[in-house]
Structures are given as C-alpha cells and as structure tokens.
Structure 1
Amino acid sequence: MIGRITGLVLEKNPPQIVVDVGGVGYEIDVPMSTFYNLPASGQKVSLHTHFAVREDGHFLYGFASEDERAAFRQLLKVSGIGARTALAVLSGLSVSDLAQAVSLQESGRLIKIPGIGKKTAERLLLELRDKLGKTLPGSIAHIPQGGAGTAPDNRSDILNALLALGYNEREALGAMKGLAEDAGVSDGIRAALKALSKA
C-alpha cells in the first residue's frame, strides 16, 4: 500500500497530476479541492494517497489532507459509488460541507454533483450518517490563486477538468461563459463549479 508520496509536480492536467519521486513519475488522480492547493510545476508536494488495484489496472489517488482521504475511503464503501464518483463528490463539496450535508441529510446538495442521482444521494446519506461525522474537520484552508499560463490554454484546461468530472460539454461551456478571459485554471474551475452548483 502506498500511503504517502512526496516529490516534484511534473504535470497538472486536472483531475490528474504527475509527481516525480526519485526519477519515477507517478500518475495521481486528485479531487479539485486538492488540485486548487497544488504548488506550481517543479515545486515539491506531499500528498496522502490511496492505492487501488482493479482488474483494469492499478490506480493512485492523492489528497491534500488525511480528512479528504478518509472521506474518499468512506465514499468508496457506499454501494454504487466508484472512485470517479467519489472524486466528483469531493470536488463539488469540501469534507466539512459533505459532512454537514450528511448530518442534515440534505440530498439536494449531492444531486447537483455529476453522477449522483436522487437514489444514490439518499443511499450515500444513509450509509455515511454514522461514519463521516466523527472525522469532521473545519472548512478547507484558503484556496490560492490560479497559476500562470495563457488564457486560451487555461480555458482549455478548465473545460477538460469539467468534462473529466462528468459534466457534458454544454454544461461546462455554459458555466465558463461568465469567467474572466484571464482567469487562472484553479480559479476558473472553482468559479465554474460554483456556477454549476447553482444551476
């Protein structure tokens, strides 16, 4: 089991990043909450990880905090929730917001996340009710501004990230209409997700 990785950020293609550890590049899928807090390419990063072995391959998931990883693992235990959906949940809600939704049994907040229908949301709330509340932290730390890059490249990265999270192209492009032309990738994704959550 790979529980933690420390290395240099080589590539950032949300929701996947590549981290160089001693000359070996590890492909790691991360939720947007972790992606927002990543340092610039070439900088050192340390992530809590979850290693999954499936019939179609080996997969590594990275998280900025132990709380995020714990929430991800709890989500995987819910019937019908796979890794991609679990990442989408953590991209749409912070751990504290998720725990609050579970505590208050607010299925409406979960239904707005791609891949989560009413039945799945209700099952998720039911199965997490006694598990998630005990691990609850405060709200996620301040999210830094997006990194440098040309605006067209940024918009392409933002679109690809939204598509990878399960939104269709129409929804993604609609959410991006209000973005500033020079919006950074992290800021753009965050603003687009906020717009989509209100849709």
Structure 2
Amino acid sequence: MTIPIKICGLSTPEAVDRAADLNAEMAGFIFFDKSPRNVSVETAAALAVLARERGLKTVAVTVNMDDETLDRIVTTMKPDWLQLHGGETPERLSVLKVRYGLPAMKAFSIREADDLKSIEPFRGVADRMLFDAKPPKGSDLPGGNGVSFDWRLLAGLDLSSLDGSASYMLSGGLTKDNVAEALRSSGAPGVDVSSGVESAPGVKDTAMMDAFVRAVSDAQM
C-alpha cells in the first residue's frame, strides 16, 4: 500500500506544484494568524485551484474558528477537507460536516498514553484523525512546532471505523531522517509533514520535500 502524504502549510505555487509532482495526497493550507504558514483566504483559493488541477486534495486547516470566517473560507477556497486543530468538540465537528457537506479531520495533541483517550468521543464522527505532538511550553502554535512524541503509543491503535485508506495520519517533528522509524514504530497508515520540509519557518524547500517523500517511499520497500 502506498502511504498517503499530506504536505501542510503550503503558501506558494512552486510548493504546490512540487507536492503534486511527488504524488502527495493532500495539500494543507493554514488559517491561523500566529503561524508562519498562515495564508489569506484569497491566496489559499488561488493555490487550491492549482492543487486541484494537479490532482491534490485540498485541506483548510483551522483552529477554533468561528462560523463567519469558516463560511468565507469554504465559499472562496472550496476545500475538499476541513481540518480542525484546536479544542473543537465532537458536536462542533458534526455540525460543521453537515453545514459544509465536507469530510473533517480532527487533530489531537499527544504526549502520553492517556492523551489517546481523547479520541473516543470522535469515533464515528471524524472522517480521519491526525496525531501531533503536544506543543512545547510557551508555544502559541497547536502544530508545526517541529517536535515529536513516542510513536510507539500508536502501535496497534484500532481506527478501522474510519477511512480505510488512512484512518489516521502521524504528524509532529517528522523529517527525512526519522520518518522511516516513525512509520515502523507507529504503524501509521499516513503521514503529515510541515516544518520538516522547510528551510526556514513557513518556507518550503523543494529539495527537502523530495527527500522526505523519497524516505517515505523507501520505508515501504
């Protein structure tokens, strides 16, 4: 099975093109003012057109966002997926799925085994889950911090009720140097990368993107 890859925090046509060239599954666009990867709705909409033309599924990544702003994002960008990366409840997720008629991915911050208990109310609600590391103390970012967690916590995790192609994605501190070990330790069916393919915060490096995808491919051999 080919492991689906989501490249998140894209902000330029060059990065979107390279993600498509590399056969990534998803292109993530971040709407969070404090993030160095934050993009305007207009920029994301233009990049989403390019992404769709190149066969990428587009993801609008939001954090505890209000309906008015979400309405504008969905209407203008027309994403294929919503990603909720804040403290959204299962009820909120259900409402948004119905409101927009879109599948939704819910992100969870993980540091220890007990953190996995937070997924239970989302079974049968989230279409896909994303496991990221808890942000370091003092960080304003819920994700994209370049830190990881003990991937072995996910070994044997049963999320068979979700999308069979990738019931969850592993995120947090993944790079070309550790993604093979992350996949082996966790058994993750999909991966999400952002800071691990950047030469500076928010600046995607196409050579690093190439190397990351190659490492994922090599790990499957």
Pairwise same-fold verdict (TM > 0.5): no
Higher helix share: 1
